[in-house]
């Protein structure tokens, strides 16, 4: 959500500064009405497939769709929720964009809901939904953040559902974040911060509802990440920004960037159940959800049988890495320095332009009082 302190400036200087950064980075960019989409050479859709609008949200109550997840157990059902100020409510939406059910989390708060994820309980085979109350535009205003765990409703009818609240804090101080994802192989939860120097944080293997859980940094993240999601087979994950999406095989191991459609305000991303496409959405009334094909190089990374449903992803051990063993580089793999999706020099240029734009905005504001 951009209408909060600290983030309004991002859109204000995006139009003035983004083009210069794109040219400096050797990439093309389209800017219009505050929207931007990176066009990375060679990262477009496959020749036999193209992005398309899957549906538009029809429900007028869905005005700030901030999270998106595909139901792991109901066919052609998509979940979303609004940004802050809308209460602890989520919606089940059909393939035509019409709301099929509205659910309220009992006893939950919605201070600043920014993302959601879906997974499978490997013991029961039931779907699990996760709602991230993790927005913090002052990077430390809240002593802790919360994630709510909900058993996916078996019936698509309006209801109040129970939720388990897990509280978290970052090991290195407060951060703003909008992205949550769950590894389907291990069931482990991750949060991606939304900053110029963002990062991927890993939750403890076993979550405790009776105390604050500590999030540990395990990798870097692109600039201004707005959402993230794991592939159904756990072979990769994607991080969405206002500009594009980046696919990783593991934290710090980038596979490729994927060009995203132009949206009014890019806020959400998810994988389809067969793992061959990305779904991405935006805030706004009757906002669209796009289906974007994954490049072949990403599909080649997928494990055998990756096109099966998410419920068939088998759990694997979650070992603690031996610090004495350095990882073996993968041929063609990009390193952690590539994670931001934009060269550091371009980031510095953008920040310089942003500072100039911020000064101009402040001057105009004083003169118009």
How many CB atoms lie under 10 A from the CB of residue 160?
12
CA distance 99 to 95: 10
pLDDT of residue 351: 57
Q: Which segment of 145-159, 304-318, 348-362 scores lowest on mean pLDDT?
A: 304-318
Domain 8-367 has CATH 2.60.40: no
Q: Pick the residue with more confidence: 122 or 56?
A: 56
Sheet containing 159-161, strands listed edge to edge, beginning at the edge strand earlier in sequence: 65-70, 78-82, 89-93, 99-105, 159-161
Q: Report the predicted TM-score, pTM, of the whole model to 2 decimal places.
A: 0.76
pLDDT in tens, 128-139: 999 999 999 888
Residue range 84-88: average pLDDT? 81
Backbone φ and ψ for 75, nearest 5 degrees, come out as -70, 135
Q: Pick the residue with more confidence: 248 or 140?
A: 248
Return the percentage of the chain with pLDDT > 90, whole number: 62
Helix axes 8-25, 344-367, angle to 10 degrees: 140
How many CB atoms lie under 10 A from the CB of residue 29?
18
* 175 has pLDDT over 80: yes
CA distance 48 to 279: 18
Q: Which segment of 15-19, 213-217, 302-306 scores lowest on mean pLDDT?
A: 15-19
pLDDT of residue 355: 56
* 333 has pLDDT over 50: no
pLDDT of residue 84: 72
Spatial contact of 49 and 78, defined as CB atoms under 8 Å apart: no
| Tokens coding 262 | 């132009």
* 304 has pLDDT over 70: no
Domain segments of the chain as ranges: 8-367
């Amino acid at each position: 959500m951009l209408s909060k302190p600290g983030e309004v400036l991002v859109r204000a200087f995006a139009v003035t500064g983004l083009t210069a950064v794109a040219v400096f980075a050797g990439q093309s960019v389209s800017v219009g009405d505050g929207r931007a989409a990176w066009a990375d050479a060679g990262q477009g859709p496959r020749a036999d497939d193209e992005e398309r609008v899957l549906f538009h949200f029809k429900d007028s109550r869905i005005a700030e769709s901030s999270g998106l997840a595909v139901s792991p157990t109901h066919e052609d059902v998509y979940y979303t929720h609004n940004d802050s100020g809308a209460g602890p409510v989520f919606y089940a939406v059909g393939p035509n964009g019409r709301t099929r059910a509205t659910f309220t989390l009992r006893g939950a708060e919605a201070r600043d809901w920014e993302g959601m994820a879906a997974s499978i309980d490997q013991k029961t085979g039931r779907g699990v939904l996760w709602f991230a109350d993790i927005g913090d535009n002052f990077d430390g205003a809240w002593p802790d953040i919360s994630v709510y765990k909900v058993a996916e409703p078996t019936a698509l009818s309006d209801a109040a559902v129970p939720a388990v609240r897990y509280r978290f804090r970052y090991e290195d101080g407060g951060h703003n974040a909008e992205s949550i994802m769950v590894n389907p192989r291990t069931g482990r939860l991750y949060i991606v911060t939304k900053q110029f120097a963002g990062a991927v944080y890993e939750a403890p293997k076993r979550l405790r509802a009776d105390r604050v859980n500590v999030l540990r940094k395990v990798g870097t993240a692109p600039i201004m990440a707005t959402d993230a999601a794991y592939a159904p087979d756990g072979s990769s994950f994607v991080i969405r920004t206002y500009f594009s999406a980046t696919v990783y095989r593991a934290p710090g191991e980038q596979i490729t960037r994927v060009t995203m459609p132009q949206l009014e305000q890019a806020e959400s991303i998810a994988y389809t159940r067969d793992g061959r496409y990305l779904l991405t959405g935006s805030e706004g009334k009757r906002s669209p959800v796009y289906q974007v094909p994954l490049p072949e190089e990403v599909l080649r990374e997928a494990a055998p049988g990756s096109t099966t449903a998410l419920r068939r992803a088998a759990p694997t051990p979650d070992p603690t890495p031996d610090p004495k063993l350095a990882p073996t580089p993968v041929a063609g793999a990009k390193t952690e320095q590539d994670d931001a999706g934009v060269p550091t020099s371009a980031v510095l240029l953008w920040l310089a332009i942003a500072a100039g734009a911020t000064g101009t905005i402040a001057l105009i504001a004083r003169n118009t009082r």
